[in-house]
Amino acid sequence: MPESQGSALADAAQFHAAPRGVSQSGFISLLMRLHFYIGLFTGPFLLIAALSGIFYALTPQLESRIYAAQLYHHSQGEELPLAQQIAAAQAVAPAGALLSAVRPAPAAGENTRVLFHLAGLGEFERLAVFIDPITAQPHGQLAAYGTSGILPLRTWLDRLHRSLQLGEPGRIYSELAASWLWLLALGGLVQWCAGKKHARKKTGLRRWHARAGGLLLIGLLFFSATGLTWSKWAGGNIGTWRHQFGWATPALSTALGEQTAPPADEHALHHGHDMQTMAAVEGDRDAALYDRILRSARQAGIDAGKIEIKQPVKAGLAWTVSEIDHRWPVQVDAVAVDPRSLAIIDRVSFAQYPMAAKLTRWGIDLHMGVLFGLANTLALVVFATGLAAMVIMGYVMWWRRWPTRRLAQPLGSPLLFLRQTPKGLLLVIVALAVLFGFCLPVMGASLLAFLLCDVLRWQWLRQRAFSPEESK
């Protein structure tokens, strides 16, 4: 029997007799083992997230070139009223398209977007008809996604980055990566500090891997935190806590008093619900009202170039005018306008956001690469490239060690570490694991999978250690 295999089997035989008590070296060995396990399991997901994030960060520049015919015009003169631009868009919109909102041309040379709800589009998508604000000449139609209004190329990359193009089930991948990334980063930091304390000199890829982790630490923690904010289960928990502590983003009230119908489901438009109600009130809407609503909002201090004027989803609610400029300094103020009197009935100002809501807004915009423009894009590309390189280096190091590594390392086993841990400390560890599992459900489920794999590994080694053939 090879020496390394015999040692591994001996370790398994001694497993059930392991005394309680954990040394510092044993704890560091456990961290190294966990860092290896987590990296081995989450590496492919982190690599996909990093590479797709690089492409997504670069698409604003690509999008402005690919869709230049839709986005820009070369006309000279005064802009036409929004009513005329809307009429031009309605003339070319597909049958069944319902007017939803208008984004006036934000700057000279850019086109107005007239947005429609249309059956057959994806969730959170609207049809954007691009209109020259000076001549009312249509410049084409494209699906626009979400509040950001990104166009098909970025939408495809966004869904790849967020869910691997698999819909809601695919979001597990990105939440898994975000849930473990912060622990990977901090675990690597602890190992690096322990190595310096004991004067352990790393060479080759290990040195580059450690240096890259140190340089990228803040960025990795940032990616993890903002990624969790967007995630399905952990993000839902974060949203609930923000609401309970009064840290949520303030909501704009569109209620008009006793005559107001109950507010519609905020996702009704995205899911295709409430279309009959919308169609019923569509005929009562005057396109000229957009100009009057815009005038009232401007007088109330909505002065950003990028804005969206949005119709209510049903009759009896206020119209909204929202700033949508997420570049620094962020302009996201919003007002609700009574369409009968044109009075401002509610206002939400970014200056009045709770600090947690401001940090969330800045974090999302920074993660998307829009907060600081080109500098933001380049920083994202650098950090994402560094993360991808670290993942690749980790797998190369693992592959190089494959022919020589032992089948088992007793101090490196999470299961054996727990058996050797004093009961008081063990209770603390279990409590923390339960807490993290509750807050970050995907982390909790994958942690159980890690421990199950370790149990099966030890069980397999134990059976081999006590089998007659191995005893010989």
Query: Following DSSP, what letter does each residue of 208-271 receive, concatenated?
Result: HHHHHHHHHHHHHHHHHHHHHHHSSHHHHHHHHHHHHTT-SPPPPP-B-STTPPPPPPTTHHHH
Q: Residue 320: inside a domain, yes or no?
A: no
Instruction: Select from 163, 194, 225 the last residue of a domain.
Output: 163
Q: What is the pLDDT of residue 112?
A: 99
Q: Residue 447: inside a domain, yes or no?
A: yes
Residues 35 and 176 in one domain: yes
Q: Is 142 helix (H, G, I), strand (E, B) or coil?
A: strand
Residues 50 and 178 in one domain: yes
Q: Residue 63: inside a domain, yes or no?
A: yes
Residues 158 and 173 in one domain: no
Instruction: Select from 163, 184, 202 the last residue of a domain.
Output: 163
Residues 67 and 143 in one domain: yes
Residues 52 and 169 in one domain: yes
Residues 451 and 419 in one domain: yes
> Rounded to whole angstroms, how far apart are CA atoms 445 and 192?
28
Q: Residue 95: inside a domain, yes or no?
A: yes
Stated as kind and residue range, the H or E segment containing 440 is none
Question: In the chain, how many domains are there?
Answer: 2
> Rounded to whole angstroms, how far apart are CA atoms 326 and 361?
9
Instruction: Select from 163, 195, 220 the last residue of a domain.
Output: 163
Q: What is the pLDDT of residue 416?
A: 72
Residues sharing a CB contact under 8 Å with residue 343, sequence separation 6 or more, in sequence order: 296, 337
Cβ pair 82, 291 in contact under 8 A: yes
> Rounded to whole angstroms, how far apart are CA atoms 405 and 25?
19
Q: Residue 389: inside a domain, yes or no?
A: yes
Residues 198 and 102 in one domain: no
Task: Please report where in the chains the tokens 């998508």 appear, as a residue.
Answer: 125
Q: Is 19 helix (H, G, I), strand (E, B) or coil?
A: coil
> Rounded to whole angstroms, how far apart are CA atoms 178 and 110?
37
Q: In what order do the strands lie in the sheet with 334-337?
A: 138-145, 125-131, 112-117, 98-103, 307-310, 319-323, 334-337, 344-348
Residues 39 and 92 in one domain: no
Q: How many CB atoms lie within 10 A of CB 374?
A: 10
> Rounded to whole angstroms, how far apart are CA atoms 128 and 142?
5
CA distances, 228 to each of 168, 247, 363 (Å): 15, 16, 11
CA distances, 243 to each of 222, 248, 251, 388 (Å): 22, 5, 11, 35
Residues 188 and 52 in one domain: yes
Q: Is 63 helix (H, G, I), strand (E, B) or coil?
A: helix
Residues 378 and 465 in one domain: yes
Q: Residue 297: inside a domain, yes or no?
A: no
Structural domain for 230, as ranges:
3-56+165-236+373-471
CA distances, 445 to each of 39, 93, 220, 435 (Å): 16, 47, 22, 12
Residues in a beta bridge with 138: 131
Q: What is the pLDDT of residue 21?
A: 56
Residues 85 and 149 in one domain: yes
The candidate with the shortest Cα–Cα distance to 345, out of 310, 314, 320, is: 320
Q: Is 285 helix (H, G, I), strand (E, B) or coil?
A: coil
Spell out the per-residue pLDDT of the chain, length 472, in tens. Answer: 544 455 455 555 555 555 555 556 666 777 787 888 889 899 999 999 999 999 999 998 899 999 999 999 999 999 999 999 999 999 999 999 999 999 999 999 999 999 999 999 998 999 999 999 999 999 999 999 999 999 999 999 999 999 999 999 999 999 999 999 999 999 999 888 877 665 556 668 888 999 999 999 999 999 999 999 989 999 999 999 999 999 999 999 999 975 433 333 333 333 333 433 343 344 335 788 999 999 999 999 999 999 999 999 888 899 999 999 999 999 999 999 999 999 999 999 999 999 999 999 999 999 999 999 999 999 999 999 999 999 999 999 988 876 555 444 444 567 777 777 788 888 988 999 999 999 999 999 999 988 888 788 777 777 776 666 555 5
Q: What is the pLDDT of residue 280?
A: 32
Residues 68 and 51 in one domain: no
